Every structure is written in structure tokens, then in C-alpha cells.
Amino acid sequence: MNTTKVFLRDKKLSGGRKSLYLDFYPPIIHPETGKPTRREFLRLDVWEKPRTEIEKTHNKQTQALAENIRAQRQIEIQNEQYGQMADIRRGADFVTFFRQLANDRKASNRDGWMSALNYLETFTGGSLKFIDLDEQFCNRFRHYLLTAPSNRTKNQPLAQNSVVSYFNKFKAALKQAFKSGYLLQDLNAKVEAVKPAETHREYLSLEELQALAKTDCDNPTLKRAALFSALTGLRFADIQKLKWEEVRQSEASGHYLQFHQQKTGGAETHPISEQAFGLLGERGEPSETVFHALHYSAWENIKLKRWLLVAGITKDITFHSFRHTYATLQLSKGTDIFTVSKMLGHKDLKTTQIYAKVVDEKKWAAADKIKLDL
């Protein structure tokens, strides 16, 4: 198949002027009319025989503008963003496109995409052509998420940070659609993201963590994994899939993990302490998972809560809180925020700075400055 070539032509007009237009060969299917066409008039005129400096300058600038349009149109045709293929793509269904992106995700990330898909299907009725997708629609969907009831708790609106997560996935789909030629403009760049709400990240003190270490748990594997998270900062998903071949040792530096983060896909080399290594147990075959009996379920959450209560801890602690505990304790012990950020596998330092607020010594000192003589 020959690629259509784009030429800049002119046509004589009355009054000594010429009209500039693009000439397509072979013809293309015009994206608006749907009919084969050889021409696209640019509505740009030049003087046929410029006499004054003003007319010469006008011709030079207009020719340059027309040439830029010609070059851009050539690129769009080569990238199938203009003409027949572009028309077919823009007639495709965005919801179907979003569903495919969701299906390509894995584990917890896929769950988040599927949840976002549910709200998109509800809002659109299950179908939306790319050609009907514009900035106004994006802002209406943003408003819908901010006011929509939660699918879990029907009488309450979606949590702010859930809205942030779902709309960010929507924006990611817009970005991918633009890259793939389904959208003529980058709507992702035009649409404002939803600002996350500040949340209180629950964590354990060193004394509470010590109490847990001395308390038996109905599920010993859960206990080992939770304490391992508190000593390494690893997420549940990364601990659950950790294999013995990823647990390594260097004579110079000691034990470390070499793995890919489940959430971001980032390759990590993660040093661990001797105490953390001791929680792994007896080494198995390279392809075996280290915590092979570790599962996520409502029943396991009940065991976690029971373990905490027996240890005398009444805080609302989830497994992810052990990762928060690692970050908070590291910062409180003087580890610099850049190192903590790397150990947590954060791509953006702003994410780690959330933990820095918890251990802001000036805030703690300020709380004790006002005293009353009672």
C-alpha cells in the first residue's frame, strides 16, 4: 500500500491573489465528510506578484504557515491519525478500549481499573465513541465521580482518594488513546486531575511492634510476613509473591532482595537486615515462594485484628500499616527522606513526604510549649 503524499498547491483568484491548498495523492477519505478527496483548502491567500514590503512579508509568513500545515498533515497520515484509518479509530468505542487496558493490568492494579470501569460504564451506559469524547465529557465524568454513591456503601459517596484513583486511570486511558491515534488532541493534558484528600496513615510505635513480636498469632505465616513488612517496608503483594531466588546475599553487604515491584513494575535491589532475613524461615527451592501460605481474605484480616487485640493494640491497623510503620520509624530514627523514598520504591518524593509530617519534631515540640499552672 502506497503512502499518500501531501503537496502544497495554489489556485489563482481574482484581484491578483492565490489561494493555498493541500493536494493528496492518492486520495484520502476525509475524516469529516467520509468521502474520497484530493484537496484541503487552507483558507490562506498570498499575493501573486507582491509589490510592497508588506505584501512580500505577508507572502513569506503565509507560505511558511502553509508548509507547516502540509508537513503536519503528512505526519498525521503516516501515523494513521488523519484520513480513513483515523476515521475508523475515532468511530471505535472508548469504553471497550478502557476495558482492554483494565484486562491488561495485574493483581490489585487490575482491581482498581475494573472498579473505575464500572463507574465509566454506569455513566456512559456502556458505550462511548471516541469521536464523542471531548473536554466537556471528561469534566462531566469528573463531577460524576465526585458525587457518585459508593458501590460498596450505597448511602455514602465515593471516598475522595477513590475518586482520585479512578479518575487518574481515566486520564491514563485518555493519554494512551491519544498516543494510539484514537484522539486528535491530548485530553489528558487539558483535564484537571482530582486533588487527593490528606489522610491519617496509621502506624505502630516501636513499643507496639515489640509487643506484637512477643505475641502469638493464629496464623504464624501472617505474623512473620507482617513483621517482615515492618522491617523492610515491602507491600503485601511483593511479600506474597517473593521467591527464594530473589533472596540473595553479598559477602560485603549482607542479605538483599532483587525483585520487581508488583504495583509499579520497577526493578528493585532492596537490602534487608539479619533480623528480617531470619523471619523468612528455612530456605526452599529457588522457584518456591517464601511465604507460600500467605493469603488475603476477610478471615485472615480477622486473625490480624485478633493478634493486635491480644497484644493490647486497639489502633485500626491493616497489613499495609506495617509498611507505614517502617517508613515512620525509619524517619524518626534519622534516616534521610531520600533513602527512605528509595527503600519504599516511591517514584515521587512527594509520596514519602506524607510520612515526614508524622515525625515532624517541631510539631511535637510545639505541642508542649504552652503550659498552665494547675
Element (H, E) at 132: none
Q: Residue 7, Cα to own-chain centre: how many angstroms?
A: 41
**pLDDT at position 364, please?**
63
**pLDDT at position 33, please?**
61
Domain ranges of the chain: 5-89, 92-190, 206-364
Q: How far apart are CA 312 and CA 327, in angstroms?
A: 22
Domains 92-190 and 206-364 fall in the same CATH topology: no
Of all residues in the chain, the percent with pLDDT exceeding 70 is 88
- The three-point CA angle 366-372-374 to 5° equals 145
The answer to whether the CB of 163 falls within 8 A of the CB of 151 is: no
Whether the ω angle into residue 149 lies within 30 degrees of 0, i.e. cis, is no
Query: Considering only CA atoms, which of 219, 247, 306, 118 is closest in space to residue 110?
Result: 118
Angle between helix 337-344 and 349-358 (nearest 10): 120
Query: Considering only CA atoms, which of 126, 125, 137, 81 is closest in space to residue 99?
Result: 126
- Per-residue pLDDT band for 85 (boundaries 50, 70, 90) equals very low
**Can you tell me the mean pLDDT for 194-215?**
87
Has domain 206-364 been given CATH number 1.10.1240.10?
no
- Per-residue pLDDT band for 211 (boundaries 50, 70, 90) equals very high
Which CATH number is 92-190 given? 1.10.150
**Can you tell me the mean pLDDT for 328-334?**
88
Query: Strand 5-12 vs strand 267-271: parallel, antiparallel, or unpaired?
Result: unpaired
Q: How far apart are CA 213 and CA 334, in angstroms?
A: 23
- Per-residue pLDDT band for 286 (boundaries 50, 70, 90) equals very high
C-alpha cell belonging to residue 7: 503537496
Angle between helix 135-147 and 107-124 (nearest 10): 110
Return left, alpha or beta for 265; rule: phi > 0 is left, psi -120 to 50 is alpha, else beta: left
- 90-128 pLDDT, tens digit each: 568 899 999 999 998 876 678 889 999 999 999 999 999
The answer to whether the CB of 87 falls within 8 A of the CB of 29 is: yes
**pLDDT at position 361, please?**
60
**Can you tell me the mean pLDDT for 37-56?**
91
More confident residue, 327 or 82: 327
